[in-house]
């Protein structure tokens, strides 16, 4: 069922921006460089020693074998942008896509003399999520200042929660999609805390300057940190998808990865099967869809396993890597020099957050039936797992079904929702798109591999969103890389 979720959420952007790559972190400070790190990456690629040519097929077969000796340990940090009417600490509204700096005030701009005042909805939403994730709520928590310098952070600190988050020690139940083997999973949630978002940086085309848009500064976020319980890319992707369902069910967020109202950073490490000690952890950013999460993790696991298998496990360093959608790989962004010192201290401008049990109970009583509850209920009703997942995991279908009646299968066919998974049919669509875009094809073959995303998007459009994404990309890559 994740596939159907995937097709609803993938909107492939032809030109992905990597804003943060322009600011390299060195010696704990961030600064703007004249050269783009993308160029550097390309240079690095060219400078890599040529590898022994082994057929891809053989390579992946061997790798699969080796992989079985290792276990991947994956944890995810998710930021959920809350859909409150106004920002966390001021009365500015937030609308994605507004003209830059049109939704700002002295408070979210960090002007001298301005002070934050907490939007009480933020607490309500945080408690809702904490309860939905089966967490223990801290009835007494507080805000802290997380301090660092960056142009999108107007005050020079972010109001967040450090040592006493509003919720801790929870878990989430989900079912893996049937096409990936199905199965029930339970993943731990370490903590949920409240914080404010930073603004956005827009980089000029020729990278001479950058501009600051503070519309997003001060928008409330909930940060969800998972236990490192996932073991595969699919598990991680489904975890993210389930979080999306939960926040949408609760009505606290759009949970939209493309708009940035749901953001995931994953941490991946591997260890030999049986070893208790964790391996070196690598953080991956720039994941804009569930399928990217899946593919990035799979790639990263392979990358790390390869090093291990060649006796070069010390080549795996603790760092942040970026997922490149076009090239379908992770690349170095910056090396983590230990933990940054954010000089946390309690936010003196805001009073302690005190929750009464009455308040918590009233929120508990107002929670809707969450996806997990629904799934278990449908299962008990005797529905097939496929129908269970389809129904419970897609709210729109559900609402329509309730309104109109009829069977699930009938509705699927009626809505022409059946996914296209026939490689020949997809192949035809890819051919069509490639022939209709000769200029871009030429550019791609000339080295602009980023354009894969563009083509994928065009095929998706052509298929009215029904093409199986995994298959699409596989076929697309084959055809793109074939000699014309």
Partner 1 sequence: MLSTIQPPRCLSRIAVRGRTKSRSLHILSSAQSVTSASLIDHSQILSIRDSLLSRHLSAVQLTHSYLDRLKQTEPQIKSFLHVSDPDKVLKQAHEIDEKIKRNEEVGPLAGVLVAVKDNICTADMPSTGGSRILEGYRPPFDATAVKRLKNLGAIVVGKTNLDEFGMGSTTEASAFKVTANPWDLSRVPGGSSGGSAAAVSARQCVVSLGSDTGGSVRQPASFCGVVGLKPTYGRVSRFGLMAYASSLDVIGCLGSSVADTGILLHAISGHDTLDATSSKREVPDFTSQFTSASSLESRPLEGLRVGLIRETVDGGVDSGVKSAIQSAAAHLEQLGCILKEVSLPSFSLGLPAYYILASSESSSNLSRYDGVRYGSQASSDELNSLYKESRAKGFGPEVKMRILMGTYALSAGYYDAYYKRAQQVRTIIRKSFKAALDENDILISPAAPSAAYKIGEKKNDPLAMYAGDIMTVNVNMAGLPALVLPCGFVEGGAVGLPVGLQIIGAAFDEEKLLKVGHIFEQTLQGYNFVPPLDADGVFA
Q: Which residues bind partner 1 (CB under 8 A)?
A: 23, 29-34, 106, 109-118, 145, 147, 149, 151, 154-157, 212, 341, 343-345, 348-351
Q: Which of 36, 47, 81, 51 is nearest to 322 (CA)?
A: 36
Question: What is the rounded CA–CA span in Å between residue 10 and residue 12?
Answer: 6
Nearer residue to partner 1 within complex by CB, 23 or 390? 23
Nearer residue to partner 1 within complex by CB, 106 or 438? 106
The minimum distance between CB 342 and partner 1, in angstroms, equals: 9
Tokens 């107002």 correspond to 366
Question: What is the rounded CA–CA span in Å between residue 249 and residue 329?
Answer: 33
Tokens standing for residue 14: 């032809």
Question: What is the rounded CA–CA span in Å between residue 77 and residue 157?
Answer: 20
Output the 3-class SS for 332-390: EEEECCCCCCCCCEECCCCCCEECCHHHHHHHHHHCCCCHHHHHHHHHHHCCCHHHHHH
The minimum distance between CB 339 and partner 1, in angstroms, equals: 8
DSSP-assigned letter for residue 26: E
Nearer residue to partner 1 within complex by CB, 351 or 442? 351
Tokens 């953001």 correspond to 263
Tokens standing for residue 350: 């805001």
Question: What is the rounded CA–CA span in Å between residue 398 and residue 409?
Answer: 12
The minimum distance between CB 125 and partner 1, in angstroms, equals: 19
The minimum distance between CB 155 and partner 1, in angstroms, equals: 5
Nearer residue to partner 1 within complex by CB, 71 or 207? 207
The minimum distance between CB 17 and partner 1, in angstroms, equals: 18
**What CA–CA distances, in Å, run from 318 to 195, 343, 461?**
26, 22, 39
The minimum distance between CB 350 and partner 1, in angstroms, equals: 5
Nearer residue to partner 1 within complex by CB, 171 or 342? 342
Nearer residue to partner 1 within complex by CB, 102 or 481? 102
The minimum distance between CB 337 and partner 1, in angstroms, equals: 13
Phi, psi of 390 (to 5 degrees): -60, -50
Q: Residue 156: helix, strand or coil by DSSP?
A: coil
Nearer residue to partner 1 within complex by CB, 110 or 427? 110
């Amino acid at each position: 069922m994740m596939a159907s979720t995937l097709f609803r959420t993938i909107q492939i952007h032809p030109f992905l921006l990597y804003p943060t790559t322009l600011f390299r972190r060195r010696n704990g400070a961030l600064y703007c460089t004249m050269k783009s790190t993308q160029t550097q990456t390309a240079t690095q690629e060219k400078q890599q020693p040529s590898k022994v040519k082994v057929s891809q097929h053989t390579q992946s077969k061997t790798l699969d074998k080796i992989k079985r000796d290792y276990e991947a340990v994956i944890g995810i940090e998710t930021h959920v942008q809350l859909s409150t009417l106004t920002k966390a600490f001021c009365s500015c509204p937030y609308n994605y896509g507004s003209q830059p700096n049109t939704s700002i005030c002295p408070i979210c701009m960090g002007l001298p003399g301005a002070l934050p005042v907490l939007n009480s909805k933020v607490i309500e939403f945080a408690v809702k999520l904490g309860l939905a994730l089966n967490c223990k709520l801290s009835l007494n928590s507080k805000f802290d200042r997380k301090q660092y310098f960056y142009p999108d952070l107007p005050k020079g600190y972010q109001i967040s929660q450090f040592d006493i988050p509003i919720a801790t020690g929870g878990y989430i139940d989900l079912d893996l999609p049937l096409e990936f083997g199905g199965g029930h999973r339970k993943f731990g949630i370490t903590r949920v805390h409240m914080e404010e978002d930073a603004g956005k940086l827009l980089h000029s085309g020729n990278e001479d300057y950058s501009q600051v848009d503070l519309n997003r500064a001060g928008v409330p976020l909930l940060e969800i940190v998972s236990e490192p319980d996932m073991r595969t890319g699919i598990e991680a992707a489904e975890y993210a998808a389930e979080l999306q369902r939960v926040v949408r069910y609760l009505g606290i967020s759009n949970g939209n990865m493309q708009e940035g109202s749901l953001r995931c950073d994953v941490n991946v490490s591997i260890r030999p099967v049986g070893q208790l000690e964790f391996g070196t952890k690598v953080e991956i950013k720039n994941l804009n869809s569930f399928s990217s999460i899946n593919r990035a993790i799979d790639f990263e696991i392979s990358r790390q396993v390869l090093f291990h298998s060649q006796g070069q496990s010390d080549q795996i360093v603790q760092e942040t890597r970026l997922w490149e959608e076009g090239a379908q790989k992770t690349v170095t962004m910056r090396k983590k020099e230990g933990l940054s010192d954010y000089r946390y201290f309690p936010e003196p401008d805001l009073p302690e957050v005190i929750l009464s049990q009455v308040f918590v109970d009233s929120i508990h009583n107002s929670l809707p039936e969450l996806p997990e509850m629904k799934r278990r209920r449908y299962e008990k009703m005797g529905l097939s797992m496929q129908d269970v997942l389809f129904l419970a995991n897609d709210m729109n279908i559900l609402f329509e079904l309730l309104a109109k009646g009829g069977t699930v299968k009938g509705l699927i066919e009626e809505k022409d929702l059946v996914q296209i998974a026939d490689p020949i049919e997809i192949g035809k669509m890819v051919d069509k798109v490639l022939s209709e875009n000769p200029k871009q094809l030429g550019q791609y073959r000339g080295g602009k591999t980023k354009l894969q995303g563009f083509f994928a998007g065009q095929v998706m459009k052509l298929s009215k969103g029904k093409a199986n994404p995994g298959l699409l990309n596989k076929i697309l890559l084959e055809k793109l890389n074939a000699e014309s």
